[in-house]
Amino acid sequence: MGSCIICGKSVDGSICEIHEEDVVFEFRGDHPGQLTTGRYYRGSVDGFAEFGVFVDIGDRVTGLLHRSELDRRLDNLDWDPGETVYVQVTDIRDNGNVDLGWSIRQSEREFRGALIDDPDRDHAVPAEQESDATDDSDASGGSDGGSGDASGGESEPQESATRTTASVSAGSTEVAGEDGGTAAASGSATVVDEPTNVTVDALEDHVGEAVRVEGEITGVRQTSGPTVFELRDETGTIDCAAFEEAGVRAYPGIDTGDVVRLDGEVERRRGELQIETTGLVALEGDSAQAVVDRMENAVATIARPDAVDPVAPDPAVETVGESIRDVATEIRRAVIEGRPVVVRHSATADGYVAGVAIERATLPLVRNHHDRSDAEYHYFDRRPVERAVYDMGDATTDVTRMLDDWERHDEKYPLFVFVAAGGTRESLDGFDLLDVYGARQAVVDTPLDDPVAETAEAAVSPGESAHETTATALATGVAVHVNEDVRADLAHLPAVSYWEDTPDAYADAAADAGYDADAVREIREAVALEAYYHSYEDKRELITDLLFGDEEDRGLAAHVSEQFRTKLDRAVETAEANLERRTVGDREFALLDAAAFTHRFDFPPIELLVDDLFRRHREEVDALVGVHESELHLRTDADVPVRTVGERVDEAVSDAGLDVRSAREGRLEFLAGERDAVREAVVETVADLA
């Protein structure tokens, strides 16, 4: 029995099943059948073809990284033949062909460990054990006990080999007591000189020098050489390599979440700063609290943005300026604390554009604050919600993923930002599940129910002005507070989110940014079409091209927009030919039997179709009702609360099992057998309330 090099669990080998995808393997076999699917391997570029990249994984074993795995990356790859790359083996075919998958981790240091996959051995082993080497000086790259490169590779020449810090055995763990003094649990310490106290943002000025940094451990990963601790203080994060012996966990008493004092020497490894750790102390009592308080105060000050103007004058946005700053503060604070930001938005044009506005502002902060090349994939995610309600299914998916990331990668629980989704009380069950785990929430939506606002840490909604604005207009206000540098990029986004009656200020802002009315319409329609297909995917690159593309990509928007218009016009033509007109009292209704005269699983979705029909006929009718097998969509300009309609219809048709699934979308669900009764009750109720 061995132990997992990441979590220490007893296993047959060196890695447990749950962490197998967190390490990279070096393949020592000579036949494809000796590979293991699902594992990540180090390889080298063999050549390029129109359909992908050939990668050599081992002796006489080559796999294909198909262009479909690369999205739009193939034309932009700067790989050279012979260059080291990292790929995942996804399939080994009967004919010996090897299918490879893309890895966002493209350096060994981004994995949590490295192992040798040798078919002649019973299990994968750390690189240093491959030749049964026992000499620590060979494993560490020297005989001085230095930590070496955080990636486990050879150390680069050091700019300064002088060590003036306290030298502490890496196998011991020190604990600072109430008085700030320390006592070693094992081993001994010989004080030579006091290191310089610095913050992470000042390390650039201390390369080659001995330093002391205090902060919180936000991640630990074990390589085949040193253990790498990610340390965060109030100014940033830094990787700190500590060496016990090859592939052995240094400072086993130090873990994620500990407040520590770390001594070491600042080095530059492969263009990135890191600290070679010579001493690591877990702080407790007053010493720890002093560091926590300092970090909290600094984060609170840094995270709170100054008030800035919206991208265009908008009274609905200006009236909620402080709430906008509150949400922006939550996002900025999450980035500083190393907490992932997950944006949940509806799968609509407004939802996608609003989510992208926050994405555009947050990603540069993530890249600047974290030195990992794949930081934007670890610390930011945008996930569409198929409907505007954040239900238990969505919450269960998020919690499962959140717990898995915590278990596998030591990631903190995310900040969930809801945009154009989650604003009504139908989402409270989902929020309650997040609350069980203490995951923070911020909501940007119109409308926003009071119970949701009370549940979230921060919330934005313009209240009485909700019908005059869009979630994108609000989210753009949040975005420029998160990062004002992106203001010019976002100027046209609010105009994209309005299907009609675009405020002049936003239309002018888009025109000044180079987007005339036709360009804005084409982008809106293109995003709406793409939002429908695979509505659970973020489509980051495609949506970016549509919203921020150059002249060539503007042609892409025009092309997709033409498809949108063709599909929608055909559906509208069929629906209009089959609209039932009815007068109830002094109210005019248009009724659509969507089950009979629309395609259930094709574009456009019923929500978008009834929206378009109502825009076309709102001068003629007071309300439009679209009824499918077991759901009804209501559109009206009258002051008729959808939830009130639902309550009255539920009383009138008590056997229908009626439920207001989304007050925001005007959607009611019911048992299909009571379809006709529900439709009639809705018409009577709306006529009475209006």
d(CA 414, CA 340): 5
Would you give the DSSP letter of residue 690? -
Spatial strand order in the sheet of 341-346:
380-385, 341-346, 415-419, 440-444, 458-460
Cα–Cα distance, 375 to 377 (Å, whole number) = 5
Give the model confidence (pLDDT) of 454-482 as tens digits: 999 999 988 766 667 899 999 999 999 99
Q: What is the pLDDT of residue 73?
A: 57
Residues 154 and 257 in one domain: yes
pLDDT of residue 142: 38
* Lowest mean pLDDT segment, chosen from 188-192, 230-234, 455-459, 588-592: 188-192
Among 222-226, 289-293, 605-609, 613-617, the least confident range: 222-226
Helix, strand counts (H, E) of the chain: 20, 31
Q: Are 575 and 612 in contact (CB under 8 A)?
A: no
**Whole-number pLDDT of residue 468:** 78
Element (H, E) at 146: none
Per-residue tokens: 583: 């007068």
Hey, CA dihedral for 607, 609, 615, 621, is it positive or negative? negative
User: Is pLDDT at 656 greater than 50 in this prediction?
Assistant: yes
Are residues 262 and 153 located together in one domain of the fold?
Answer: yes
Cis peptide before 494 (omega within 30 of 0): no
Which residues, at least 6 apart from 537, have a Cβ–Cβ distance to it below 8 Å? 384
What's the half-sphere exposure (Cβ side, CA atoms, 13 Å) at 116? 17
CATH of the domain at 342: 3.40.50.10490
**Pairwise pLDDT comparison (245 vs 634), residue with the higher score:** 634
What is the overall mean pLDDT for the chain?
85
pLDDT for 4 beyond 90: no
The most confident of 52-61, 64-73, 353-362, 441-450, by mean pLDDT:
353-362
pLDDT confidence of residue 652: 95
Could you tell me if residue 302 is inside a domain?
Answer: no
370-389 residue pLDDT tens? 766 677 878 999 999 988 89
d(CA 139, CA 203): 27
C-alpha to C-alpha distance for 305 and 505, rounded to whole angstroms: 24
pLDDT recorded at residue 143: 35
Instruction: Report CA torsion sign: 368, 372, 373, 375.
Output: negative
Which residue, among 254, 257, 275, 256, has the nearest Cα to 170 in the 3D structure?
254
The radius of gyration computed from the CA coordinates of the chain, to the nearest angstrom, equals: 29
Within a domain: 8: yes
Q: Is 361 helix (H, G, I), strand (E, B) or coil?
A: helix
Spatial contact of 473 and 497, defined as CB atoms under 8 Å apart: yes
Q: Look at the chain and count its residues.
A: 690
347 closest CA partner among 69, 536, 158, 506: 536
Do residues 169 and 33 both lie within one domain? no
Q: For residue 436, is pLDDT > 50?
A: yes
- Asked if residue 560 is part of any domain, the answer here is no
Q: Are strands 415-419 and 341-346 parallel, antiparallel or unpaired?
A: parallel
Mark whether 374 and 274 lie in a shared domain: no
Domain stop point among 78, 97, 129: 129
Domain membership of residue 525 (yes or no) is: no
- Report the CATH number at residue 195: 2.40.50.140
Report DSSP state, residue 310.
Answer: -
Phi, psi of 154 (to 5 degrees): -70, 145
511, pLDDT greater than 90: yes
Three-class SS string for 441-471? EEEECCCCCHHHHHHCCEEECCHHHHHHCCH
**pLDDT for residue 407:** 80
pLDDT of residue 544: 92
Task: Supply 491's token pair.
Answer: 């100027």
* CA-wise closest residue to 540 among 363, 327, 340, 396: 363
Same structural domain, 116 and 157 = no
Q: Is residue 459 part of a domain?
A: yes
Q: How much is the average pLDDT of 4-24?
A: 82
CB atoms within 10 A of CB 467: 10
State the Cα–Cα distance between residues 262 and 502, nearest whole angstrom.
56
Residue 524 pLDDT more than 80?
yes
Q: Please indicate, yes or no, if residue 399 is contained in any of the structural domains.
A: yes
- Residue 552's pLDDT is 65
CB 459 within 8 A of CB 286: no
Residue 128 vs residues 94, 138, 228, 579: alpha-carbon distances, Å: 34, 8, 17, 75
Tokens at residue 359, please?
A: 């994405």
Q: What DSSP letter does each residue of 455-524 carry, written as one string?
A: HSSEEE--GGGGGGS-HHHHHHHHHHHH-GGGHHHHTTHHHHT-SS---HHHHHHHHHTT--HHHHHHHH
Instruction: Clarify whether residues 260 and 343 are in a common domain.
Output: no
Residue 241: domain span? 142-297
User: Is it the case that residue 680 has pLDDT exceeding 50?
Assistant: yes
- Tell me: do 348 and 250 sit in the same domain: no
Euclidean distance between CA atoms 393 and 567, whole angstroms? 30
Residue 141 has pLDDT above 60, yes or no: no
> Of 84-98, 177-191, 437-451, which gets the smallest average pLDDT?
177-191
Nearest to 443 by CA among 536, 506, 358: 358
* 451 and 412 fall within a common domain: yes
Per-residue pLDDT averaged across 593-602, rounded?
89
Q: List the one residue out of 491, 570, 116, 126 whose CA is nearest residue 311.
A: 491
Within this chain, do residues 282 and 422 fall inside the same structural domain, yes or no? no
Contacts of 542 (CB under 8 A, 6+ apart): 530
Q: Is residue 173 part of a domain?
A: yes
**Four-point Cα dihedral 77, 83, 85, 91, nearest 10:** 90
Name residues whose C-beta falls within 8 Å of residue 647's C-beta, 6 or more positions apart in sequence.
none
Whether 217 has a pLDDT exceeding 90, the answer reads: yes
Check residue 191 and give its pLDDT: 43
Q: Are residues 347 and 453 in the same domain?
A: yes
State pLDDT tens for residues 150-176.
444 433 333 333 333 333 334 444 445
- What tokens does 59 get? 């002796």
Cβ-based neighbour number of residue 179 at 10 Å: 9
Burial class (CB in 10 A: 0-12, 13-18, 19+), 245: middle
Question: By the 8 A CB rule, do 524 and 499 touch?
Answer: yes
pLDDT at 1: 63
The residue among 461, 492, 523 that closes a domain is: 492
Mutual angle of helices 349-369 and 471-482, in 10-degree steps: 10
Burial 613-648 (b: 16+ CB within 10 A, else e): bbeebbeebbbbbbbbebbbbbbbeeebebeebbeb
Q: Could you tell me if residue 524 is inside a domain? A: no
Stretch 309-325: mean pLDDT, rounded? 93
Domain end: 492, 524, 545, which one? 492
**Are 338 and 487 part of one and the same domain?**
yes
pLDDT beyond 70 at 568:
yes
Domain total of the chain = 4
Cβ atoms of residues 591 and 627 within 8 Å: yes
| SS3 per residue for 573-625 | HHHHHCCEEEEECCEEEEEEEHHHHCCCCCCCCHHHHHHHHHHHHCCCCCEEE
* pLDDT at residue 417 tops 80: yes
Task: Tell me, yes or no, whether 330 and 470 share the same domain.
Answer: yes
pLDDT at site 164: 31
pLDDT of residue 646: 93
For tokens 């763990």, the residue is 173
Amino acid at 432: D
Q: What is the mean pLDDT of residues 260-284?
A: 91
- Closest by CA position to 281, among listed 171, 176, 170: 176
Q: Distance of CA 22 to CAs 8, 38, 110, 141, 654, Å?
A: 14, 11, 9, 24, 54
- pLDDT, tens digit, for every residue of 105-133? 888 878 888 899 988 887 777 765 554 44
